[in-house]
Chain A
Amino acid sequence: MVRNQWEHRALTRMLAKGRAGLAALAALAPGMAFARLEYDLQPPVTPIAQQMYDLNVYIFWICVIIFCAVFGVMFYSIFKHRKSVGHKAVQFHENTTVEIIWTVIPFLILLGMAWPATKTILAMRDTSASDITIKVTGYQWKWGYDYIQDGFGFYSNLSTPLAQIENREKKGDNYLLEVDQPMVVPIGAKVRILVTAGDVLHSWSVPAFGVKQDAIPGFVRDTWFKAEKVGTYRGQCSELCGKEHGFMPVVVEVKSKEDYAAWVAVQKTKVAAAADDPSKVWTVADLTAKGAEIYAANCVACHQANGKGVPGAFPALDGSKIVTGPLPAQIALVLAGKPGTAMPAWKQLSNADIAAVITYTRNSWGNHTGEAVQPAQVVAARKEQ
């Protein structure tokens, strides 16, 4: 059985190489030389992704054979049965036997394709008996990861600097595929992913795992993977989710069991440290400094670094009536969002984070309220909601 599987893999690898050769030929045809030509699925690291890969190679070769047969006939006919070589038209038409033959044969070929695909679908949808469950939430425009069993969670934002995107700096190797905090999973564990969204549709996708699951606001969908190789794997949001759709990558690090356990321990201590005392009184300077970070991670995509927003689409905060007006209204708006607009609810942020980011907006650009918002005020506002 094992031997069979290896033979099978060797065969598909050989076939895949043949395909790469064909693709390379196609690429060389225009006489251009490229440094890096990508023309294949990413190397699979889960059993399901491996099955998808093999299925793709298998179907590819069936298509190549049909292609050669069908167009062999067509081009033979084009070269031989033309008027310019003096071929006279033979006036035959209608033949039921032929029609039946070319209906039945494709049908049988389809059965041969459907069989392996069906097996993969059944395996792919079986999310039972998982070792770890992680909830993934898509937001405009970042991913949230919640380790449900271990009680911690974090956001994962694009970490490629704006200067690279705007061509002011040289682009890094993982341009647009790097995040500040990746999702981490242990090797060999069946990880069940619960996918949902906070605002609009997103899609969580890691090609090397063979996973792509739409994130639907208000509903939880599940999928799973079992990574068999330590490493960092990258994907991207795969459902149009607005302006920054191209800028919310998925990065997953697969660690050994020991490294994973150590990482979980660190995360848990961070949670304990972050559970800040809501009665602590902060200074304006401390709040503004912390708020700038929160703003850069969460707000800047719409409201922009200069606080001017995008006219017609996202309102300005600089000089805004809400930001310079009464404080309770702004706290309530940040906590609850503004239904029917792109402004989501931010109640998942900590009290200190919300206090800091509001302080930042009230004391930046042309806004000079001088007010410090304390976490205790946010706690009070939460109670009113």
Chain B
Amino acid sequence: MSAIPHDHAVGHAADHHDDHGHHPTGIMRWITTTNHKDIGTLYLLFSLTMFFVGGCMALTIRAELFQPGLQIVHPEFFNSLTTLHGLIMIFGAIMPAAVGFANWQVPLMIGAPDMAFARMNNWSFWLLPPAALMLVGSFFVPGGAAAGGWTLYPPLSVQAGMGMDLTIFAVHIMGASSIMGSINIITTILNMRAPGMTMMKMPLFVWTWLITAYLLIAVMPVLAGSVTMLLTDRHFGTSFFNAAGGGDPVLFQHVFWFFGHPEVYIMILPSFGIVSQIIPTFARKPLFGYASMVYAVASIAILSFIVWAHHMFTVGMPAAGLLFFMYATMLIAVPTGVKVFNWLATMWKGSMTFETPMLFAIGFLFLFTMGGFTGLVLALTPIDIQLQDTYYVVAHFHYVLVAGSLFAFFGGAYYWLPKWTGTMYNEKLGQWHFWCSMIFFNITFFPMHFLGVAGMPRRIPDYAQQFADWNMVATVGAFGFGLSQLIFVVALIKCIRGDGVKAPAKPWEGADTLEWTVPSPAPYHTFETPPVVQ
């Protein structure tokens, strides 16, 4: 399957720079592009933008919570901020970043010339900006943005104004984008691998994305279904979630979390993949248990479908339900543990160096495991009864999503920036970025564990006096964390402008995947003649 129709003579194609002549330039290059590298860049820059938009919302939330009492925002606007912060970070920052990595790296790592469906690839990306505009724009419609939490639980979300409708449509559009992206990734991986690259020779990043793409295809339609039911309950007189009409508000929670829990793994599996590339490179030895890593990812993905109701331990399930979902949830700790142990065994007796990508990978390993411990605590129903809907949960999912997914993405960005831009990032800036992020992250989120066990509910704009001290600490940390991310922007701009050491084709001594066999920056078209993998 040849991805890009090519009318060049074979001999001519050797000079890749000629291809630019046939492309529109300026803004039209980006709007009409079907090149996986361009689209990867678009995804990553979009995600970075949304990361700062969502980050500003988070900082407004933290500013309001700096002290007890209402100071900065009204309660309803506060609820909109928590809702949109969640939606934007999940659907606007983390997921598009993962797809951006896949666009750049999957073809390069399996020796394919481009993605399988190049035009659909363009469309999957360009659906996102309108969706993001609808989300952000919903702040300006009558009644304000959705304020029922990112989980959109009815009946509260049925009461809301038209901001909720905009959110529902945005979720539909982003879901369509994710499904198209997933179809593309699956087709590319299954059909376009270089000769000799069997499934069990694929880099782990490719494996994790293959499994993630299947998860996306399985659950995004479920999310679309649940928000569509919400839409018809709101406007067309149905009663899916209205007890007075024979429905059940809890039905929404079951359907939503049937999407929502696999979604958690959709956000973390690509990060597992990135970390699994970085650690062997900087330990200068192969991944300890490649096969068991693949099996562990697959088991996590399968288990993710049978644990959803652990998000609902307080809705009043029968004891048998509580027990089943508790046991199933605890089981996830086994394959997750296997992954952590394999990463450690990969580091063991290596010859490690600690450039920025490795620092972020180790930061990931350390903090993600902490998030794993709190996940185990929350899995135990009796403790969860105390901690459900408190700041402990907020701490837990920020440990796995910020220190988990996001740190791995930063690691991946520093790891591959030399390949993408042809310029080495500034190591000093990278180290500063890592250490500031690491320290401020913990100042922000570690105290939230204490707030949670002490009983502070999440999603409240004001709180009782005994929560005051830790909230103040968390707010200070949050502003530090937010400002630290500007270091990344500086490092990124320096790379893009070519301000730095020119990167060789393989800047990392221990790297051995296919992307390091092409020059840096990667030419516009690569692997037009597939490489042969031994």
Contacts and interface: CB of A to CB of B under 8 A. Distances in A.
Interface of A: 23, 26, 30, 32, 34-42, 48-49, 51-52, 55-56, 59-60, 63, 66-67, 70-71, 73-74, 77-78, 81-84, 87-95, 98-99, 102-103, 106-107, 110, 113-114, 117-118, 120-122, 124-125, 164-167, 171, 173-177, 195, 199-201, 203, 205, 207, 210-214, 216-219, 221-223, 235-247, 310-313, 340-342
B249 A56 contact: no
A37 B450 contact: yes
A150 B383 CA distance: 34
Interface of B: 68-71, 75-76, 79, 142-144, 147-149, 153-156, 158-159, 161, 234, 242-244, 248-250, 283-292, 314-316, 318-319, 322-323, 326-327, 330-331, 333-334, 337-338, 340-341, 344-354, 362, 365-366, 369-370, 373, 376-377, 380-383, 385-386, 388-390, 443, 446, 449-451, 453-455, 457, 459-467, 469-470, 473
Given A26-B446, A240-B153, 15 more contacts: A41-B455, A70-B341, A70-B344, A71-B366, A83-B353, A88-B351, A95-B289, A106-B333, A110-B333, A167-B69, A173-B465, A244-B75, A246-B461, A311-B142, A313-B144
A279 to B, nearest CB: 33
B469 A35 contact: yes
B315 A241 contact: no
B314 A165 contact: no
B155 A94 contact: no
Contact of A125 (B244, B318, B376): B318
Contact of A59 (B144, B350, B377, B459): B377
Nearest to B250: A216
A44 B322 CA distance: 22
A52 B378 CA distance: 12
Contacts of B322: 121, 125
A52 B314 contact: no
Given A113-B330, A121-B382, A240 B79 contact: yes
B334 A106 contact: yes
Contact of A42 (B292, B455, B462): B455
Given A89-B283, A340-B158, A213 B316 contact: yes
Contacts of A240: 79, 148-149, 153, 156, 459
A117 to B, nearest CB: 5
Contacts of A51: 382
A134 to B, nearest CB: 16
A87 B351 contact: yes
Contacts of B352: 77-78, 81-83, 87
Contacts of A218: 242-244, 248-249
A243 B316 contact: no
B76 A342 contact: no
Contact of B389 (A35, A117, A239, A312): A239
A113 B470 contact: no
A36 B153 CA distance: 35
B481 to A, nearest CB: 15
12 contacts: A70-B340, A90-B285, A98-B345, A110-B333, A166-B69, A176-B68, A213-B316, A216-B250, A216-B316, A217-B249, A312-B144, A313-B143
A122 B318 CA distance: 10
Given A93-B289, A114-B327, A246 B382 contact: no
B330 A212 contact: no
Nearest to B390: A238
A67 B327 CA distance: 22
A117 B457 contact: no
Nearest to B82: A240
A165 B69 contact: yes
A87 B144 CA distance: 59
Contacts of B71: 167
B79 to A, nearest CB: 7
Contacts of B314: 203, 212-214, 238-239
A121 B326 contact: yes
Nearest to B299: A103
Contacts of A223: 316
Interface centre among A91, A102, A219, A241 (most CB of B within 10 A): A102
